[in-house]
Chains A and B, each alone.
Chain A
């Protein structure tokens, strides 16, 4: 890929748009999640600030922005500052290869999914740094959990995506969407239901959401790796958590749910509708289930998801070879 002025400008504009998307997503999702939680728990949720509480999330983020940057004693301050930034920045790159629409891709590279998987691995480093540098035992326990969880759940995740890649024969995300049809039965979810299921479970594990929110399990570790963070540091972790949720949902939509294609009027709106339906599913899970224990979490992965995904991969490979 030649780095001409136009492509550079394209990437910069795309990065700015991604930042906008991340912030907008966080604001929308905070409101949406709190309203959904309210619905599930039979209470109104936010309703005081703005019409039906719509600007509650904006006010909250303003509050977080305005807070004093507080550094607890005895922290490794360089890493302490670096960790939230490191959590935030890879997410910018992650959104670049996502095909939102047919022509709406910031950077259509042939190795799109490789880029995403490589940079999403960076997220856990920020968790380790946060837990380690804040010099807090809860933080360190949370960080240790984050590492083993992230390593564990990345493998079946990649395996399930590989099965789809075998089918389409391409690592390019746009290509993978092009292979799928417009109607739901032409999507990869019907060809690869097991891979979809495995991806869905490891998606929750990968984004540290309940019932797999072990690194920040509040009843055991108060807040896990971000115990010592407040203000903007906390806000960046928060932002990147929601951005990561959105990212894995987009990848899920691209790989399994036909991307921008729909029964009528193909376009980026289909991507967003499907992605937010998956987000809703994640939110629904969080407010319904109790948390699993840490050894159970790893058992689910190593004893069930990994063998299943390998089996699925084998079957896919054999079928692809035979056909």
Chain B
């Protein structure tokens, strides 16, 4: 309670390698210029969505250096894959990315199927597409709400949650869960759709299309939002490829790369859908690409529902819980909401895989941030961080 301890936080640092803060902060401030402020954004900060921590060096309100600090949500999923059988590991994947769990399901199950050479029935493949795309819509909508909230607009997230709730209701019918979905099984999916699922989905598609028009008028065309996003945080093809960014970030830069088209899996080759490229590599471009992908996914769901063949949803003699992977090595990639999800699976023929490497798109997309945030305002840095659509459990795995 004495004011002798009062330290001016903006005082010019006499000793750059001071002992203030933890090791990361100390190391970061070792290279700090004089007269700047080291600010910790996170791990508990409203805009880092979870437990991402970013150390920034501020000169006035300008970020001159930024460094993400990871690992606050590291849950050793890759190690768990080595001690669990593939069957036991399926629910883990929903925890890696809680916004698009179906794609992660697909990545792991797909890798095991490719290694074992399992044939998935046609109907199951269509159901996989339907559930994955519905989940992608939910993920993008959730991002949309959270992103506008980062910019200070508090209302859209509640609208987004309402649509996401409808998707959750639909997915709950077949998957049984609403957040950490584990719908896929080796050689198929866990449950067939019913009449109610089809009815709700068919009602949902035109409904969301109407809503998207409203969102365009309400949010996308808002002059404040445009001024906040246009020409902010440009990330060209060059920087995206250097850091291995994929998904909407890369597509907004102008490169129409999409695993669904480039390394086809499932029944995507049979479906007709557009892959957006551009229109600009700034935050607004990434915003538009994601909203466009929502429409694309709606089209895919509609097509898949129309072309849905009859048949079983699981192959005959599908692997049981005590199933052993054959020895070998494989790689399987799917397009998640955030980019390319890759699973590199190595098995020595034992009960558990020898190694399972997860390639998380958020991790690569986040690594762009340090370079993109140089020299922008703090508010713009938050916008750039939001436009990358990070899911922190996926970054840390």
Q: A41-B154, A135-B7, A219-B149 are in contact. List 5 more A-B contacts (CB 8 A).
A: A137-B9, A141-B378, A220-B382, A289-B153, A289-B224
Q: Are B152 and A213 in contact (CB under 8 A)?
A: yes
Among the listed A140, A222, A294, which residue makes an inter-chain contact with B46, where contact means beta carbons less than 8 Å apart?
Answer: A222
User: What is the size, in residues, of chain B's interface with A at 8 Å between Cβ atoms?
Assistant: 35
A163 CB, min distance to chain B CBs, angstroms: 27
A41-B155, A41-B158 given as contacts; is B382 within 8 A of A219 (CB)? yes
The answer to whether the Cβ of A7 comes within 8 Å of any Cβ in the partner chain is no
A71-B1, A77-B1, A294-B61 given as contacts; is B222 within 8 A of A289 (CB)? yes
- Give chain A residues whose Cβ lies under 8 Å from the Cβ of B155: 37, 40-41, 287-288
The answer to whether the Cβ of B151 comes within 8 Å of any Cβ in the partner chain is yes
**A213 CA to B45 CA in the complex, in Å?**
18
Q: Are B9 and A135 in contact (CB under 8 A)?
A: yes
- Give chain B residues whose Cβ lies under 8 Å from the Cβ of A296: 227-228
Q: Are A290 and B9 in contact (CB under 8 A)?
A: no
The answer to whether the Cβ of A217 comes within 8 Å of any Cβ in the partner chain is yes
The answer to whether the Cβ of A67 comes within 8 Å of any Cβ in the partner chain is no
The answer to whether the Cβ of A295 comes within 8 Å of any Cβ in the partner chain is yes
The answer to whether the Cβ of B148 comes within 8 Å of any Cβ in the partner chain is yes
Interface string of B138-181 (1 = CB under 8 A from A): 00000000001111111100110010000000000000000000
Closest to A293 in B: B379
A43-B158, A289-B222, A292-B228 given as contacts; is B5 within 8 A of A74 (CB)? yes
Closest to B158 in A: A41
- Give chain B residues whose Cβ lies under 8 Å from the Cβ of A135: 6-7, 9
A219-B46, A219-B47, A219-B151 given as contacts; is B1 within 8 A of A136 (CB)? no
Which residues between 214 and 272 of chain B lie within 8 Å of chain A, taking CB atoms? 222, 224-225, 227-228
Identify whether the interface residues of A are mostly helix, strand, loop, or mixed.
loop
Q: Are B6 and A75 in contact (CB under 8 A)?
A: yes
Q: Are B150 and A219 in contact (CB under 8 A)?
A: yes
The 5 closest A-B pairs by CB, nearest first: A291-B152, A290-B153, A41-B158, A290-B151, A219-B47
- Give chain B residues whose Cβ lies under 8 Å from the Cβ of A73: 5
Interface string of B1-33 (1 = CB under 8 A from A): 101011101100000000000000000000000
- Pull 15 A–B residue pairs with CB atoms less than 8 Å apart, ordered by A: A41-B154, A41-B158, A75-B3, A137-B10, A211-B224, A213-B152, A217-B152, A219-B46, A220-B47, A220-B379, A290-B225, A290-B228, A291-B152, A293-B228, A293-B377
The answer to whether the Cβ of A319 comes within 8 Å of any Cβ in the partner chain is no
Identify whether the interface residues of B are mostly helix, strand, loop, or mixed.
mixed
**A88 CA to B7 CA in the complex, in Å?**
27
The answer to whether the Cβ of A218 comes within 8 Å of any Cβ in the partner chain is yes
- Give chain A residues whose Cβ lies under 8 Å from the Cβ of B39: 137-138
- Give chain A residues whose Cβ lies under 8 Å from the Cβ of B46: 218-219, 222
The answer to whether the Cβ of A303 comes within 8 Å of any Cβ in the partner chain is no
- Give chain B residues whose Cβ lies under 8 Å from the Cβ of A295: 377
Q: Are B158 and A211 in contact (CB under 8 A)?
A: no
Q: Are A220 and B9 in contact (CB under 8 A)?
A: no
- Give chain A residues whose Cβ lies under 8 Å from the Cβ of B64: none
Q: Are B224 and A290 in contact (CB under 8 A)?
A: yes
Closest to B2 in A: A77
The answer to whether the Cβ of B380 comes within 8 Å of any Cβ in the partner chain is yes
The answer to whether the Cβ of B37 comes within 8 Å of any Cβ in the partner chain is yes
Interface string of B365-385 (1 = CB under 8 A from A): 000000000000111101000
- Give chain A residues whose Cβ lies under 8 Å from the Cβ of B45: 222
A219-B150, A220-B379, A220-B382 given as contacts; is B228 within 8 A of A76 (CB)? no
- Give chain B residues whose Cβ lies under 8 Å from the Cβ of A289: 152-153, 222, 224
